[in-house]
Structure 1
Amino acid sequence: MTTAEEIAEFARANMGALNERMGIELVDVTPDRVVATMPVEGNTQPYGLLHGGASVVLAETLGSVAAALNAGPDRFAVGVDINATHHRSATKGTVTGVATPLHRGRSMASYEIVISDEEGRRVCTSRITCALLARDPNPQG
């Protein structure tokens, strides 16, 4: 059986190449709240502003980890829909994303992700929906 702590530890240890390249770091991982940071530097568009796609990557990471925590040991989470509203630009420092649940069902879970700058100003609001799929009890290796 997989516990929430085991899933959180797995997520921290296996962020994946894109998240590592973008400098995303998980800060707090619980079933009710997942928090991560990301540097603005290295994740900007040509005008020096935080790239909107970088915000979406941060949001999808947070929502997917949160959904995995809530999926349970016999299921896994896959994103099926994400949207983002970009409220203001960030040009330096670090942004912080916080994912909180909107709906946690047996087969679907939705999360709101709020991304803020170092002054606590909202940079982006995102929403993700993940399907919670059954794990194959006899995977082919």
Structure 2
Amino acid sequence: MGMRIISQSPEHTVIEMPISGNTQPQGLLHGGASAALAETAASHSAILHAQRLFGENAVAVGVELNISHLKAGRGLLIRATAEALHLGRSSTVHTVRITDEDHQLIAIARVSNRVLNK
């Protein structure tokens, strides 16, 4: 899918993805691709939080994804910015804003992860 991590921390992760190769038959950004990008950004943050709590073998697994597609994705790339709403001992919740190159909001998501100490 061509995702590229720009920055990452438990509180804030930014990932970019090209639109090319991630489109529906009409040539617009595929909603499933933007959902995958949102979950990836939130999950990177959640894994870092889990490892901060329990060490490098800890993991985080997705338990809920809710996304609203607000505008057609056009252009070269989109950017997902995950912001922590809750960083607990057993769960995390992040809001993810997906924007285009002009900083226009394309989609917004909420992602919940379960923190597991392996």
Q: Does 1:99 align with 2:78?
A: no
- Tell me the residue number matched to 1:42: 21
> Which amino acid in the other structure matches residue 125 of structure 1?
I
Cα offsets for 1:11-67 (capped at 9, x unmatched): xxxxxxxxxxx1000001122210010001110001111000000110111111000
TM-score (norm 2): 0.93
Looking at secondary structure, tell me which structure has more strand per residue: 2
- Tell me the residue number matched to 1:28: 7
C-alpha displacement at 1:107, in angstroms? Answer: 0.3
Report the count of equivalent residues: 114
C-alpha displacement at 1:116, in angstroms? Answer: 0.1
- Tell me the residue number matched to 1:108: 91
Alignment of 1:52-71 (within 5 A): 52-71=31-50
TM-score (norm 1): 0.78
Select the structure with the greater relative contact order (CA < 8 A; seq sep ≥ 6). 2
Unaligned runs of 5+ in 2: none
- Tell me the residue number matched to 1:82: 65
- Tell me the residue number matched to 2:108: 125
1:69 match: secondary structure: helix
C-alpha displacement at 1:113, in angstroms? Answer: 0.5
Q: Distance in 2 between matches of 1:32 and 1:60?
A: 15
Root mean square deviation of aligned Cα: 0.9
2:32 match: secondary structure: helix
Unaligned runs of 5+ in 1: 1-21, 136-141
Looking at secondary structure, tell me which structure has more helix per residue: 1
* Greater C-alpha Rg: 1
